[in-house]
Amino acid sequence: MASELQKKVKDFILENYLFTDDQSAIGEDDSLLERGIVDSTGMLEIIMFIEEELGVKVEDEEMVPENLDSVNRIAAFVARKQ
């Protein structure tokens, strides 16, 4: 079962990049870059979402796929920083 944080991240991605509310459109571990869901501009928008909506500052050295390339990775990154 997804956490509230995972749901917020997934809802943001579904609404802003896939233009749907169909939760099956993306898996929690799907790579956002490899699936072509976001490009570098989209990744910057996700970082802005993390900082503005989730209240977590993303440092330059933290802007790596290991932290930001899937719903689960983003949620885990934010949870570690909160």
Please give the residue range of the domain that contains residue 50. Answer: 1-20+29-81
Residue 28: predicted pLDDT: 96
Which pLDDT band, with edges at 50, 70 and 90, does 23 fall under? Answer: very high
Residue pair 82/57 in contact by the 8 Å Cβ criterion: no
Give the separation between CA 17 and CA 26, rounded to whole angstroms: 11
Task: Give Cα separations from 64 to 23, 40, 43, 58, 67 (angstroms).
Answer: 25, 11, 10, 10, 6
Which pLDDT score, from 0 to 100, does residue 70 have?
97
Reply yes or no on whether the pLDDT at 1 is more than 60: no
pLDDT at 68 over 90: yes
Find the CATH number of the domain harbouring 3. Answer: 1.10.1200.10
Q: How many folded domains does the chain comprise?
A: 1
Rounded mean pLDDT, 54-68: 96
Q: What's 23's DSSP letter?
A: G
